[in-house]
Amino acid sequence: MVETSDQWILERTGIRERHIADPSMATSDMAIHAARCALEQRGVAPSEIDTIIVCTVTPDHMFPSTACLVQNGLGARGAWGFDLIAACSSFVYGLTTGAHLVAAGTHRKVLVIGADTMSRIIDYTDRATCVLFGDGAGAMLLEPAAEGEGLGFIDFLGEVDGSGGDYLKMPAGGSRLPSSHETVDKRLHYVHQDGGQVFKYAVRKMYEVCRDLLARNGIAAADLAVMIPHQANLRIINAVSDRLGIDPAHVLVNIDRYGNTTAGTIPLATRDAICQGKLKKGDLVLFAAVGAGYTVGASLWKWAY
């Protein structure tokens, strides 16, 4: 549908394959499945969940929130929750929000889910975006760390820069440009991106936020067991890790198998890091992302599971 090739896509993005959800599957369906996987691994019943945070830019509906649908689908009676929209930074923001709920002592089990069906908002006649995105979901369960082990959440550093809002957005469908024949005809309900601007900003800000967060906590890049960045573009990941001085062997990359799944990339990559033996109990892990908005975030954890 567009002038491209497998070689062109691979060289510029690092993507070899992507997964596209069946037309009958919505974001909440993927989110529920990912949540069940996480709960089963910990032996936790849905009824024990205090809060559900669904990180997504592709909710099932404008309202009710996808978190409501997930709560009902899981049978998580008594849980409250909400959707969190921060584009590709959503899951990092969700983890930080959940960590603070647990740290406050008011919540014991917070379920953070990253799920996006990006194929529903991609214009497959636009080469600038159609080669980048895939569908996927992942989930993490946050709980209080055991007393005296020194495990869990360490610190977070975030930033937003709304001046970059026009460079990556879905123009129509909200209160600014409500849906109409005109917005549909102009293909304004799809992702629109200025790739050059986004690339430059992502490299600079992801590096800066990681550098500053590590410095603030007296941690050297060499101390990290693994860095798990948002999987937007292999060249962005390589540029950031190179500037930080992190050995490529300690940077998790799986964009080749999934593409950019937006809020799904970091939990999917974390699962792969665990399966590959790169992330174990007691390891230092750095999560980092830059997304539309612009949104920027990085968080440090001492892995507890």
Partners of 111 in beta bridges: 52, 141
The per-residue b/e assignment along 237-276, b for 16 or more CB within 10 angstroms, e otherwise, is bbbbbebbebeeebbbbbbebbbbbbbbbbbbbbbbbbee
Looking at the annotation, which residues are catalytic? 88, 230, 260
Rounded Cα gap, residues 148 and 288, in angstroms:
27
Which residue is associated with the tokens 């999934």? 258
Q: Is the dihedral angle over the CA atoms 295, 10, 274, 28 positive or is it negative?
A: positive
Closest C-alpha to 260, from 90, 52, 70: 90
Fill in the DSSP letter of residue 164.
G
